[in-house]
């Protein structure tokens, strides 16, 4: 964790070309970037190293109100665990993380359908807020 320069709240917006992505299998999902669509990254959090990231509450809201909620424990039990796993796996495969890389550790809230032109706001407590307009 000492190599991590900053932590940013973010919203992951999945997207896929498959109608039923749960049935297509891992090779097809890999070719589809594991349903990766967009990543909206907010400003860096202040003094985040003092926080207990597994217990950080996250609330995702849309124009109509609260859509989803969760905690950092939804990310392999701890976002730091997820980051360490990704770093080890990439290094073992000859593609280590480098200074300046942006890494998303995973979603703290369950994904939800969002109607077009809705505004999403993800609140990460004192770690910050990030928003996105879905088109």
Look at residue 27 in the predicted model and tell me its pLDDT.
83
pLDDT above 80 for 30: no
**What domains does the chain contain, in order, with CATH numbers?**
10-133 (3.90.850.10)
pTM here is: 0.83
- pLDDT tens track for 52-102: 999 999 999 999 999 999 999 999 999 999 999 999 999 999 999 999 999
- Residue 26's H or E segment, with its range, is helix 26-31
Two structure tokens written together for 122: 């993800």
pLDDT above 90 for 114: no
Nearest to 116 by CA among 90, 134, 96: 134
Q: Where does residue 90 rank: exposed (0-12), middle (13-18), buried (19+ CB within 10 A)?
A: middle
What CA–CA distance (Å, rounded) separates 48 from 44?
Answer: 9
Look at residue 66 in the predicted model and tell me its pLDDT.
95
**Is residue 131 within 8 Å of residue 119, measured between CB atoms?**
yes
- Residue 14's H or E segment, with its range, is strand 10-14
Residue recorded with tokens 């097809």: 28
């Amino acid at each position: 964790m000492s190599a991590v320069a900053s932590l940013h709240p973010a919203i992951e917006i999945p997207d896929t070309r498959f109608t039923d992505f749960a049935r297509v299998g891992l090779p097809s999902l890999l070719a589809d970037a594991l349903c990766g669509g967009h990543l909206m990254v907010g400003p860096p959090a202040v003094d985040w190293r003092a926080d207990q990231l597994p217990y950080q509450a996250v609330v995702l809201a849309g124009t109509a109100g609260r859509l989803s909620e969760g905690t950092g424990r939804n990310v392999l039990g701890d976002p730091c665990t997820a980051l360490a796993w990704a770093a080890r796996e990439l290094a073992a495969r000859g593609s280590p993380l480098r200074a300046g890389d942006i890494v998303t550790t995973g979603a703290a809230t369950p994904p939800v359908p969002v109607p077009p032109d809705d505004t999403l706001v993800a609140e990460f407590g004192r770690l910050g807020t990030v928003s996105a307009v879905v088109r």
